[in-house]
Amino acid sequence: MRDELSINIYLDETDTPFSRYYSLEDVHLSSDLEDFILAKLHSGRRKEVEIFYLGQNDFDEKSLQAATFNTFSDILNEEEYTYARNVKKSIVLFVLGIIVGVIFLKYSTTHAYIAGVLSIVCWVFIWAGTEVYFFDNQQIKQKIRKCRNILNANVCKNE
Kindly report, residue by residue over 2-34, the tens digit of the pLDDT. Answer: 578 888 888 877 778 888 887 777 888 888 889
d(CA 125, CA 83): 19
pTM of the model: 0.82
The confidence score (pLDDT) of residue 1 equals 47
Residue type, 100: V
Whether the CB-CB separation of 61 and 156 falls below 8 Å is answered with yes
Whether the CB-CB separation of 54 and 10 falls below 8 Å is answered with yes
Q: Provide φ and ψ at 153, rounded to 5°.
A: -75, 155
Q: How confident is the model at residue 43 (pLDDT cuts 50, 70, 90)?
A: low
**Which residues make beta-bridge pairs with 7?**
51
What share of the chain in percent tops pLDDT 90?
39
Where does the chain show beta strands of DSSP type E? 4-10, 48-54, 154-158
Q: Which of 118, 124, 92, 113 is nearest to 103 (CA)?
A: 118
